[in-house]
Structure 1
Amino acid sequence: MDVHAPHADPMNVIHQQIMWDRLISVVEEQAQTLIRIGFSTSTREAGDVSAGVFNTAGHMLAQAVTGTPGHVNSMARAVVHFLDKFPATTMQPGDIFITNDPWKGTGHLHDFTVVTPVFRADRLVALFASTCHVIDIGGRGMGPDARQVFEEGVFIPIMRFASAAGTNETLLEIIKGNVREPVQVVGDLYSLAGCNDVGGRQLLKMMDEFGIETLDRLGDHILERSRVATLEAIRALPKGTFRNSMRVDGYDRPLDLVATMTISDDGIDVDFAGTSPPSSFGINVPFCYTEAYASFGVKCIIAPKIPNNEGSLALLRMRAPADCILNAQPPLPVATRHIVGQMLPDLVIGCLGQALHGNVPAEGTSCLWNLFAFGGSSQIDADSTEMMRARVFNVMSFHSGGTGARPGKDGLSATAFPSGVRNVPVEVTEAMSPLLIKRKEYRTDSGGPGQFRGGLGQVMEVVSLDDTAFAISANYDRVDFPARGRDGGADGKAGKISLGSGRLLKSKGQQTIPRGEAVLIEMPGGGGLGDPFSRDAAAVAADVHLGMVSREAAETAYGVVLRGDHSVDETATAARRGHRA
């Protein structure tokens, strides 16, 4: 059928579906462009980005598959704030808008969101948005030590990044004058604008190909189909109210995260009343980030294959009191909001586990265990003579612990869930800094024992090749309260950070690694699922052979006795397992 024929309807259901798929490919190209031209390792190597296309009312129609939920789902709500400041009727060709407002963007100052309107024959037809994490934004740096957002870096309200007359050079000069890595930061801002431009050009090409003048009917189709499909998935769930709580490390004291989930015929409501109050340190979570990760956790279980857009997200309704850490109000510090925010999928999945009789994964490491290291007197304590001699560098390298065991499957080792970012190769970190990664390997026995084993964390040993000290900003959790197992599975092993000489370091905050010392980062493992003594003995033997489980743990945690060649001693194993029974 020729969609350009006079009597053809290019908006019939088949063509709508084809165009929907094409629209997703457009935003995926947008995201891949951002990764290819990005400057910082978080963009280029880890894929800590988001990209999407929105209708003229600010509703997300499609998101790129590439990207993180914290960026995508908070960006999904962000564009309406841009339209509040710059109504669609005032936008002009050549306009590009920008912000890193934590409460109107994606939760902290290190993330910039750029929005670009797209015009077809002088008519606004869509908005493209993208987000990435920049290596530095000034202030105290990427850590939880600040007491107010004003200490955390330069705050850019929603404003024009560019117009038809050119780039906002005053804005760029302000940013360059306030950050430690101006080339990388400004380069990433241009990369955000550039990827939006690619998305816009590909959209116009698509509209020409299909002979449509606006996205109105296609957008209505996308949002309605997504809404109906998500509603069907929700209505298949048991109805009721389910409550789950989780204790996490916090900064100076433990925090309780509490969720009450109500599943009804018209959607899912999650209320975080009962959660601990805000912290004095930068682990507070703006509500946009809370909503982003909580929605993602629910969607992973109930509707993982339904495209993510305004239609599917609108049925997942989140609430959090203004006096809790999950709805931090300005000017509270929020630089490391991901430490707590990335725990929320585990929290809401715990609610869904009650509704689904446990048919959900165990808890995982959840928060990232990134190596954020820097050196030079401009970065840390200027009173330290040793630090005055240190080379100035600033590097952020993404790394992960293990995920929780899944129904019918082991957890994933050294894998970032829920963020989905990639681990950064050690060669990249070494090329950009004086650091040497002496060791990076799976952490034996870190995965929680179970019929299905939790994913393993990793061990990293890091030293400086310079004869000076360097500093790290620790942004870690699951040190005091490890990932919990489920349905009889054991907890994963807790994380640990220490010097090579043995002295323990704090799990959060900026700390100096003395000259000649190594820092040892031992990442947590995911929780196990089901009774460990029900695990297939051959699978335990394979884990021991691969170094993922020790011989001692095989016997004590799983009841599996191995011979010297790693084969299973069936008689001894049956006796040990039977003795426990």
Structure 2
Amino acid sequence: MSSNSLGQIDLQIMWNRLIAVVEEQAQTLMRTAFSPIVREAGDLSAGVFDLQGRMLAQAVTGTPGHVNSMAESVKHFIRHFPTATMKPGDIYITNDPWMGTGHTNDFVLTTPCFKDGRLVALFSCTSHLTDIGGLGFGPDATDVFMEGLYIPMLKLADQGRMNETLMAMIRANTRLPVDTEGDVYSLAGCNDIGCRRLVEMMSEFGLADLDTLSAFILERSREAVLGEIAALPKGTWRNEMMVDGYDAPIKLVATTTVSDSGIHVDYTGTDAQVRRGINVPIAYTTAYTVFGLGCVVSARIPNNAGSLAPLTVSAPPGTILNAQKPAPVLLRHVIGQMLPDMAFGCLRQAVPERVPAEGTSCLWNLNMRGAVAGGDGGNYGFTITVTSNGGTGARPQADGLSATAYPSGVRGTPVEIAESIAPLIFWKKELRADSGGAGARRGGLGQAIEIGSSIEKPFDLLAAYDRIDYPPRGRDGGANGTAGYVGLKSGRALKGKGTQTIPPHDRLVIMTPGGGGLGDPRRRDPQHVTEDVAEGLVSPETAERVYGVPLKAAE
């Protein structure tokens, strides 16, 4: 294709069309998935790759942890199944945490796309499956083999014929065989849709291959990110954060260097990997660190191999951010999703006007399971993940967001959906007043949630929470967000991590953290304080004591 102005316009149109193709791919996955965390919350990713395994476009629908780590997994697929050996109808699958998206509950499928008998691209997708056996979706395992079914790089389909032996193994290793099998076919189907739409697009534009378009996308994206980096101050900045850990607190340390060639984050000084399943493989560490950098540096540049290239990450092997096999990693998101805050803590020293205070960050998902009638071709009991979170940190130009899953991007699971598929009653789900850290810009609020059994049986909570001992930190005079809490309605506090039983006549109480505030609370616009009190976000007592707004002005 020519490089004149018309050619450049054509290429840009094709690029936008490619993004639309992968978005339809993702929407297909979300609409056909069996697991509620996918179809209701959007815990998935979808993208198209060139024949070198470089991501050309990702769907807007999806999570950074999936997308940016999936970007590396396709290269592993090509290493195991060279492109010269691929045939129409082939599908490849894995859930290897170190070659996929960081834990075994995420299945990654890659499908070669052919046009006129010629391989032209690869489509890949990921979604979170609710249960794949083992100890369940909690942090209790002491190695990866206890965490459920482990699928190496395999063919799910060979020239259109499904691997029924593998499908039987998958069904046999889950408490939810119906859902799990359905999710596998959902993943395969969404890649098929991507292939179909890409071939239609290539036919429409008269393309025999994607070589010219690929070079255009990757080079333009890389140049755009480097242009943004060129405007940043150059130097090296350091940040530390303490997180709750499992048995003991864990220190995270990041050193970020901004240079003309890019931005590099190194996690030397971070504590060692631990015995329980909150360790993080390097691919997931990279995914969320790069996402945090991108939010500050290149938020308006499409995500692809070109835009990701100038943003690099390293961590010493054996640290909790570069856990080595067979370390347990099932709940890698608990610490992995703190990493944008780690990057922000470095960059705020260079560009404070772009960076928020710390937020809840780690998902406060409600992973619950229990016994109900089942089996004999159906599911065994119930297992459910209800997505939930606390508040985000205050932003330089706005308050933090309440009950928002940043940086993961998943939506909260509707109560009606959870109650329709599990024997649970949500007695309360409301914003937690005064939980957002006070500041000129207030942190987002957490939630107060109460859940009980709707049958005369207990249920298990597979807890995996953080920000209980070390809440989100405020910045520049802003207060910390309120710490999280897990307990029973009857008064007993529960552990933030680990499987625990909720009695049938009690209720689970979850209080998610609030985000940190930014700036001196006394500088907050009194009108904003008045509105916060009127909406029940801030109590009159806090308005007067912390913000300095008299009660009569706040009522």
Shorter-chain TM-score tier = over 0.9
The equivalent of 2:134 in structure 1 is 139
The equivalent of 1:384 in structure 2 is none
For residues 475-494 of structure 1, the C-alpha deviation after alignment (integer angstroms, 9 at most, x for no partner) is: 10000000000111100000
Q: Tell me if structure 1 keeps the 8 A contact 2:474–2:517.
A: yes
In structure 2, the CA distance between the partners of 1:377 and 1:183, relative to structure 1 (3 Å rule), is closer
The equivalent of 2:377 in structure 1 is none
The equivalent of 1:363 in structure 2 is 358
Q: Name the SS for the 2:18 alignment partner.
A: helix
For residues 296-341 of structure 1, the C-alpha deviation after alignment (integer angstroms, 9 at most, x for no partner) is: 0000001100010000111111000002100000000001000000
Q: Tell me if structure 2 keeps the 8 A contact 1:161–1:171.
A: yes
Determine which of 285, 292, 295 is the counterpart of 2:287: 292
2:172 is matched by which residue type in structure 1?
G
For residues 412-470 of structure 1, the C-alpha deviation after alignment (integer angstroms, 9 at most, x for no partner) is: 00000000000000011100111000000000000000000000000110000111211
Determine which of 10, 13, 26 is the counterpart of 1:18: 13
C-alpha separation between the residues in 2 aligned to 1:357 and 1:468?
52
The equivalent of 2:482 in structure 1 is 493
Q: Name the SS for the 1:282 alignment partner.
A: coil
C-alpha separation between the residues in 2 aligned to 1:559 and 1:359?
27
C-alpha separation between the residues in 2 aligned to 1:291 and 1:268?
12
Percent identical across equivalent pairs?
Answer: 58
Task: Give 1:89 deviation, angstroms.
Answer: 0.5
1:326 aligns with 2:329: no
2:459 is matched by which residue type in structure 1?
F
C-alpha separation between the residues in 2 aligned to 1:236 and 1:59?
27
C-alpha separation between the residues in 1 aligned to 2:477 and 2:289?
25
C-alpha separation between the residues in 2 aligned to 1:22 and 1:42?
28
The equivalent of 2:534 in structure 1 is 545
Task: Give 1:278 deviation, angstroms.
Answer: 0.4
Q: Tell me if structure 1 keeps the 8 A contact 2:41–2:411.
A: yes
1:493 is matched by which residue type in structure 2?
T
1:416 aligns with 2:405: yes
With the length of structure 2 as denominator, give the TM-score of the two structures. Answer: 0.97
Q: Tell me if structure 1 keeps the 8 A contact 2:263–2:311.
A: yes
For residues 136-170 of structure 1, the C-alpha deviation after alignment (integer angstroms, 9 at most, x for no partner) is: 01100000000000000010001100022510000
1:373 aligns with 2:390: no
CA RMSD across the alignment: 1.6
Determine which of 338, 341, 350 is the counterpart of 2:345: 350
Determine which of 58, 70, 75 is the counterpart of 1:75: 70
**Where does 1:431-470 land on structure 2 (aligned, <5 Å)?**
431-470=420-459
C-alpha separation between the residues in 2 aligned to 1:15 and 1:358?
37
Q: Name the SS for the 1:351 alignment partner.
A: helix
The equivalent of 2:251 in structure 1 is 256
The equivalent of 2:219 in structure 1 is 224
Q: Name the SS for the 1:327 alignment partner.
A: coil
1:56 aligns with 2:45: no
The equivalent of 2:116 in structure 1 is 121
C-alpha separation between the residues in 2 aligned to 1:369 and 1:548?
20
2:451 is matched by which residue type in structure 1?
V
Q: Tell me if structure 1 keeps the 8 A contact 2:296–2:354.
A: no
The equivalent of 2:275 in structure 1 is 280
Determine which of 189, 194, 207 is the counterpart of 2:189: 194
Task: Give 1:121 deviation, angstroms.
Answer: 1.4
C-alpha separation between the residues in 1 aligned to 2:23 and 2:372?
41
In structure 2, the CA distance between the partners of 1:191 and 1:10, relative to structure 1 (3 Å rule), is farther
Task: Give 1:394 deviation, angstroms.
Answer: 1.0
Q: Tell me if structure 2 keeps the 8 A contact 1:461–1:521.
A: yes
Q: Tell me if structure 1 keeps the 8 A contact 2:90–2:160.
A: no
**Which stretch of structure 1 is more off in the superposition, 157-166 or 487-496?**
157-166
Q: Name the SS for the 1:418 alignment partner.
A: coil
1:325 is matched by which residue type in structure 2?
I
C-alpha separation between the residues in 1 aligned to 2:96 and 2:7?
41
**Which stretch of structure 1 is more off in the superposition, 355-364 or 292-301?**
355-364
The equivalent of 1:575 in structure 2 is none
C-alpha separation between the residues in 2 aligned to 1:8 and 1:156?
45
Structure 1: gaps of 5 or more residues:
380-390, 568-581
C-alpha separation between the residues in 1 aligned to 2:111 and 2:296?
33
C-alpha separation between the residues in 1 aligned to 2:554 and 2:517?
22
**Where does 1:561-572 land on structure 2 (aligned, <5 Å)?**
561-563=550-552, 566-567=554-555
The equivalent of 1:96 in structure 2 is 91
Q: Tell me if structure 1 keeps the 8 A contact 2:121–2:210.
A: yes
For residues 194-221 of structure 1, the C-alpha deviation after alignment (integer angstroms, 9 at most, x for no partner) is: 0000011000000011111100000000
Determine which of 548, 556, 564 is the counterpart of 2:545: 556
Q: How many residues align?
A: 550
Q: Name the SS for the 2:22 alignment partner.
A: helix
Q: Name the SS for the 1:325 alignment partner.
A: coil
2:496 is matched by which residue type in structure 1?
S
C-alpha separation between the residues in 2 aligned to 1:358 and 1:303?
15
2:362 is matched by which residue type in structure 1?
C
Point out 4+ residue stretches in structure 1 off by more than 3 angstroms: 7-11
1:528 aligns with 2:517: yes
Task: Give 1:10 deviation, angstroms.
Answer: 11
Determine which of 367, 383, 396 is the counterpart of 2:385: 396
With the length of structure 1 as denominator, give the TM-score of the two structures. Answer: 0.93
Task: Give 1:122 deviation, angstroms.
Answer: 1.3
The equivalent of 1:84 in structure 2 is 79
In structure 2, the CA distance between the partners of 1:165 and 1:451, relative to structure 1 (3 Å rule), is closer
C-alpha separation between the residues in 2 aligned to 1:305 and 1:10?
23
Task: Give 1:359 deviation, angstroms.
Answer: 3.6
Q: Tell me if structure 2 keeps the 8 A contact 1:353–1:360.
A: yes
